[in-house]
């Protein structure tokens, strides 16, 4: 295991420290001597912060301080520090790049590839719980879908630092899958692990539209729908169009249509092409896509190279705010984005 990997796991707080000092040293590489007010201004940092950091850099023999400002004492180490920072940042670059390209608030990437290592699902789950632990507050409403990833997330919730009195609601109805993977069950496990409460949704997710209309007038259903629409957080898995079409029991002509229209990703019964455009939809009970616009934060979770295209499709729909994925999927997404840019550039010439 690389030293940088150990440090990332054991003392991740080193990175911001090194980043800051590298920033200062690099600035001095371009222009020296500089005073700390000038450095503070250039780097948009507090004067006191710069003073503290310069003190430490001086103690380490990297700079010397004179009446006219600060000078470097050792320049070769700066490039090597830059490389170290880059290594420690590791997936941080990719996280930030994808967040920027996809217009997301946050991307969290765990090492590995779910396609190659099933244990990565546990890491995805752990990262999701850590994230939720940071954002969830008492009395928040959390809507969750089903599926294997979210079931694993639910099992990981003991990682929470403290009980949280949230209301957990299934974001969709049952899909005829194993009871353990249904949104109802996931919601119940979530709630129990968090010390909160939950509401159940005793409906299938694939009713005919007429029945859907009739049932949506039921008071209980309206109540759950109202709760769902004001959820603070929605947590949902990412599926490929093909996989989800099969799970929803779509017929061959429907699947052919989706394929023909190049649908690759699915969420909430909607099928998206690579650009995030809806190419097909099935009615579904529970939250609909347009309901997501009123949600505080929509978190998509999923990993594995094979799901990268689906993830990109779903995320390009601009309904999500946060994505938690693995390195395998992230790298493929990045390549696809880069490829898209090259095509756009070629088309523009």
Partner DNA sequence: ATCCACCGGGACGTCTTGTGTCCCGCATGC
Partner DNA sequence: GCATGCGGGACACAAGACGTCCCGGTGGAT
Binding site for DNA (CB under 7 A): 33-38, 46-49, 52, 65-70, 161-163
Shortest Å, Cβ 18 to DNA = 15
Residue 36 interacts with, from a second copy, DNA, none (CB under 5-8 Å by kind): DNA
Per the CB < 8 A criterion, the answer to whether 322 and 330 are in contact is no
Pairing between strand 63-66 and 106-110? Answer: unpaired
Please give the residue ranges that form the binding site for a second copy (CB under 8 A): 1, 3-4, 6-7, 9-14, 17-18, 21-22, 55, 57-62, 64-66, 74, 76-77, 80-81, 84, 87, 123, 126, 130, 158-159, 161
Query: In angstroms, rounded to a whole number, what is the distance separating the alpha carbons of residues 36 and 335?
Result: 41
Shortest Å, Cβ 82 to DNA = 23
Residue 35 interacts with, from a second copy, DNA, none (CB under 5-8 Å by kind): DNA
Per the CB < 8 A criterion, the answer to whether 239 and 146 are in contact is no
Pairing between strand 297-301 and 69-72? Answer: unpaired
- Is 272 strand, coil or helix? strand
Residue 126 interacts with, from DNA, a second copy, none (CB under 5-8 Å by kind): a second copy
Residue 163 interacts with, from a second copy, DNA, none (CB under 5-8 Å by kind): DNA
Pick 127 or 166: Cβ nearer a second copy: 127
Pick 42 or 73: Cβ nearer a second copy: 73
HSE-CB at 55 with a 13 A cutoff on CA atoms is: 6
Per the CB < 8 A criterion, the answer to whether 124 and 303 are in contact is yes
List the one residue out of 172, 180, 175 whose CA is nearest residue 234: 172
Residue 347 interacts with, from DNA, a second copy, none (CB under 5-8 Å by kind): none
Shortest Å, Cβ 116 to a second copy = 19
Shortest Å, Cβ 89 to a second copy = 14
Residue 70 interacts with, from a second copy, DNA, none (CB under 5-8 Å by kind): DNA
Cis peptide before 33 (omega within 30 of 0): yes
Residue 118 interacts with, from DNA, a second copy, none (CB under 5-8 Å by kind): none
Residue 96 interacts with, from a second copy, DNA, none (CB under 5-8 Å by kind): none
- Four-CA torsion 192, 196, 199, 201, nearest 10 degrees: -50
Query: In angstroms, rounded to a whole number, what is the distance separating the alpha carbons of residues 282 and 257?
Result: 13
Pick 17 or 343: Cβ nearer a second copy: 17
DSSP assigned state of 324 = E
- Is 234 strand, coil or helix? strand
Pick 8 or 149: Cβ nearer a second copy: 8
Pick 157 or 322: Cβ nearer DNA: 157
Pick 70 or 110: Cβ nearer DNA: 70
- Four-CA torsion 224, 226, 227, 233, nearest 10 degrees: 120
Shortest Å, Cβ 50 to DNA = 8
Per the CB < 8 A criterion, the answer to whether 160 and 129 are in contact is yes
- Four-CA torsion 265, 268, 269, 274, nearest 10 degrees: -20
Pick 74 or 223: Cβ nearer a second copy: 74
Shortest Å, Cβ 70 to DNA = 5
């Amino acid at each position: 295991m690389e030293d940088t990997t150990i440090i990332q796991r054991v003392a991740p707080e080193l990175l911001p420290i090194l980043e800051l000092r590298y920033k200062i040293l690099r600035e001095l590489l371009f222009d020296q001597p500089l005073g700390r007010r000038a450095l503070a201004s250039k780097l948009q940092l507090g004067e006191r912060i710069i003073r503290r950091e310069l003190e430490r850099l001086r103690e380490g023999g990297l700079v010397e301080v004179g009446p006219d400002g600060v000078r470097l004492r050792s320049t070769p180490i700066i490039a090597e520090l830059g490389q170290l920072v880059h290594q420690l940042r590791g997936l941080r670059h990719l996280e930030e790049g994808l967040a920027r390209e996809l217009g997301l608030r946050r991307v969290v990437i765990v090492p590995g590839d779910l396609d190659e290592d099933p244990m990565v699902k546990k890491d995805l789950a752990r990262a999701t719980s850590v994230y939720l632990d940071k954002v969830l507050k008492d009395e928040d409403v959390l809507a969750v879908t089903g599926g294997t990833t979210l079931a694993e997330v639910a099992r990981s919730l003991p990682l929470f630092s403290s009980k949280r009195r949230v209301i957990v609601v299934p974001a969709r109805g049952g899909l005829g899958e194993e009871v353990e993977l249904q949104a109802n069950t996931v919601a119940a496990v979530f709630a129990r692990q968090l010390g909160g409460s939950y509401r159940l949704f005793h409906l299938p997710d694939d009713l005919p539209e007429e029945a859907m209309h009739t049932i949506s007038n039921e008071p209980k259903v309206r109540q759950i729908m109202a709760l769902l629409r004001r959820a603070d957080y929605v947590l949902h898995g990412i599926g490929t169009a093909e996989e989800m079409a099969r799970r929803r029991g779509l017929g061959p002509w429907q699947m052919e249509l989706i394929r023909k229209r190049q649908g690759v990703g699915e969420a909430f019964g909607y099928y998206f092409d690579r650009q995030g455009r809806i190419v097909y939809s099935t009615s579904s009970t529970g939250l609909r896509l347009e309901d997501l616009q009123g949600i505080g934060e929509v978190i998509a979770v999923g990993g594995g190279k094979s799901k990268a295209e689906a993830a990109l499709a779903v995320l390009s729909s601009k309904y999500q705010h946060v994505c938690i994925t693995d390195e395998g999927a992230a790298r493929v997404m990045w390549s696809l984005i880069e490829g898209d840019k090259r095509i756009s550039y070629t088309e523009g010439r």
